[in-house]
Amino acid sequence: MNLIFVGPPGAGKGTIAAKIAAELSIPHISTGDIFRQNIREQTELGKKVKQILDSGELVPDELTIDLVSDRLSHSDAQAGWILDGFPRTETQAEALDEFARVDEVVFFRIDDEEVVKRLGGRRVHPASGRTYHIEFDPPKEPGFDDETGEPLIRREDDEPDAIRHRLEVYRKETAPVVDYYQRDGRLVEVDAAQPIEGVFEDLRAIVEEVQNR
Ligand code: AP5
């Protein structure tokens, strides 16, 4: 099953994608996580994109499209995948349609006020991308990852100025992607403002519907 999660920053796409991907035993492919891993490992790609991610701008389409096209060709992605954070521009959506089949696109609907609360309290385990929230989804021990015990960090782009800019970029560049999929009936919407369990249950129902087609 090939699923896309689209929505504003902080809508909970990554949190839910990790859970659904584990249930379906398919990879959760987050372009943001791939870029951040490259930044941590100081690869050529990481050096190229660090400034872009920190500021909340988008990485150029061509580079991002090539990265995803390559990732989807890996053996673990042949039985399905969840794409989280891609496509983010109409150009990326059109390109994806050239090299992959998309079964369903899930739009995470949420307002800006809730996004700001979520991103302000988000903490991440850099090595795995595991995500917590100091209030809504806290780790067992504050400040430390549940599985490794390693320290959690705050993402550079979760600072107030970068959050505001990411929301602007979302409205300008990514909102048209929602329209793109709505036009041909591939879009389904979830109320992402619910608690995590509620969003997860809605996603399970969507997955079941796609499986029964
Ligand atoms: P990316 O990493 O994709 O960031 P994003 O889209 O801004 O999304 P986030 O990771 O911020 O949010 P999310 O929706 O996954 O929320 P999460 O589950 O973490 O991209 C980062 C950057 O990389 C971009 O700015 C760009 O520079 C670049 N990039 C990436 N893809 C690109 C592309 N295709 N093209 C060009 N550039 C690209 O949840 C947020 C918080 O809320 C967490 O603390 C979580 O615990 C909490 N939470 C989650 N769900 C709930 C809930 N239901 N109730 C309460 N709290 C919740």
- Residue 82 CA, chain-centre distance (Å), reads 9
42 falls within a domain: yes
Which structural domain range is residue 103 located in?
A: 2-110+168-211
Strands (E), 33-100: 81-84
Chain centre to alpha carbon of residue 71 = 15
> Would you call the peptide bond into 87 cis, given omega within 30 degrees of 0 as the criterion?
yes
Name the residue at shortest CA distance from atom 7 of ligand 1.
9
Mutate to test the pocket of ligand 1, among 118, 159, 197 (most ligand atoms within 8 A of CB): 118
Q: Rounded to whole angstroms, how far apart are CA atoms 198 and 143?
A: 25
The kind and range of the H/E element at 6 are strand 2-6
CATH number at residue 103: 3.40.50.300
* Element (DSSP H or E) covering residue 174: none
Please state whether the peptide bond connecting residue 151 to the residue before it is cis, i.e. omega within 30 degrees of 0.
no
Residue 94 lies in a domain: yes
Specify the ligand 1 atom closest to the Cα of 57: 27
* Average pLDDT value over all residues in the chain: 96
Nearest to 174 by CA among 2, 1, 57: 57
For ligand 1, residues with CB inside 6 Å are 9-15, 30-32, 35, 52-53, 56-59, 64, 85-86, 88, 92, 118, 121-122, 131-133, 136-137, 157, 166, 194-196, 199
**19 in a domain, yes or no?**
yes
Q: Tally the domains of the chain.
A: 1
Per-residue confidence at 83, pLDDT binned at 50, 70, 90? Answer: very high
The DSSP element (H or E) to which 57 belongs, if any, is none
Over residues 139-198, the pLDDT tens digits come to: 999 999 999 999 999 998 999 989 999 999 999 999 999 999 999 899 999 999 999 999
Band (51; pLDDT cuts 50, 70, 90): very high
Residue 199 lies in a domain: yes
Residue 197 lies in a domain: yes
